[in-house]
């Protein structure tokens, strides 16, 4: 049984997707404490990415944790995991209880300001299996989560990812939809994202 009050879950109705939004999955003070702790004590890395043979800096910082030694490859990047910290383990257990799913890894993203972003993609690497459950925690500055259908032009959706919230994508979402965190010219602060996945 889920330990989260399921009446608080907002189901986002989208064709060929199953997306659930948990506002205030972490309450105000707790979310701020988590942000501060993770911002200070995470070994953030600025990865290189290759686009058409040219090397650029990835427009955000990342860190990759797992409870095994399976690398995670996406885009042109391969990340070798570091072990879960006690704090991340606690967060993982809470996410697992609420979603009734198991996760083996956590990819963390730090968006330093509005110039940092995450381009259109689906989390559909083979290592995630067919219909992965992806649970994504947001801390700090709110950013807009954009979704667009892969084949139906004009079918789009935006979800504002609030401080302390959790967004869960499951079933066929990655098969039918792309998502991104777009750049913004607004002067905004930092945001941390924790994305839990089960890697096989």
Ligand X SMILES: O=C(O)CCC(=O)C(=O)O
What residues from 111 to 150 belong to the interface with Mn ion (CB under 5 A)?
A: 123
Element (H, E) at 92: helix 86-99
HSE at residue 160, side-chain half, CA atoms within 13 A, is 5
Instruction: Compose the 127-166 pattern: x for residues touching ligand X by CB under 6 A, - for all others.
Output: ---------x--------x---------------x-----
Does position 104 interact with ligand X (CB under 6 A)? The reply is no
Q: Which of residues 77-96 bind ligand X (CB under 6 A)?
A: none
Q: For ligand X, how many residues bind (rule: CB under 6 A)?
A: 11
For Mn ion, which is the closer residue by CB, 47 or 123?
123
197: number of Cβ within 10 Å? 22
- Cβ contacts of 99 within 8 Å, gap of 6 or more: 2, 133, 135, 168
Strands 61-66 and 82-83: parallel
| 107, 147, 166, 199: residue in contact with ligand X (rule CB under 6 A) | 107
Q: Where are the alpha helices (DSSP H) in 100-164?
A: none
Residues that bind Mn ion (rule: CB under 5 A) add up to a total of 1
Tell me which residues touch ligand X (CB under 6 A). 107, 109, 118, 123, 136, 145, 161, 179, 181, 193, 195
């Amino acid at each position: 049984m889920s330990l989260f009050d399921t009446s608080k879950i907002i189901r986002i109705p989208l064709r060929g997707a199953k997306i659930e939004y948990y506002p205030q999955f972490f309450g105000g003070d707790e979310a701020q404490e988590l942000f501060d702790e993770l911002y200070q004590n995470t070994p953030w890395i600025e990865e290189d990415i290759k686009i058409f043979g040219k090397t650029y800096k990835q427009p955000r910082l990342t860190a990759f944790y797992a409870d095994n030694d399976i690398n995670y490859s996406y885009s042109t990047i391969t990340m070798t995991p570091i072990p879960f910290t006690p704090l991340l383990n606690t967060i993982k257990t809470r996410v697992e209880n609420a979603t009734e799913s198991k996760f083996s890894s956590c990819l963390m993203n730090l968006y330093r300001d509005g110039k940092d972003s995450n381009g259109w993609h689906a989390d559909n690497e083979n290592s995630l299996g067919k219909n992965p459950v992806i649970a994504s925690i947001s801390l700090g500055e709110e950013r807009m989560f954009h979704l667009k259908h892969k084949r139906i032009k004009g079918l789009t959706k935006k979800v504002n990812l609030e401080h302390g919230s959790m967004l869960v994508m499951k079933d066929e979402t990655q098969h039918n939809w792309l998502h991104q965190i777009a750049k913004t010219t607004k002067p905004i602060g930092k945001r941390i994202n924790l994305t839990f996945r089960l890697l096989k």
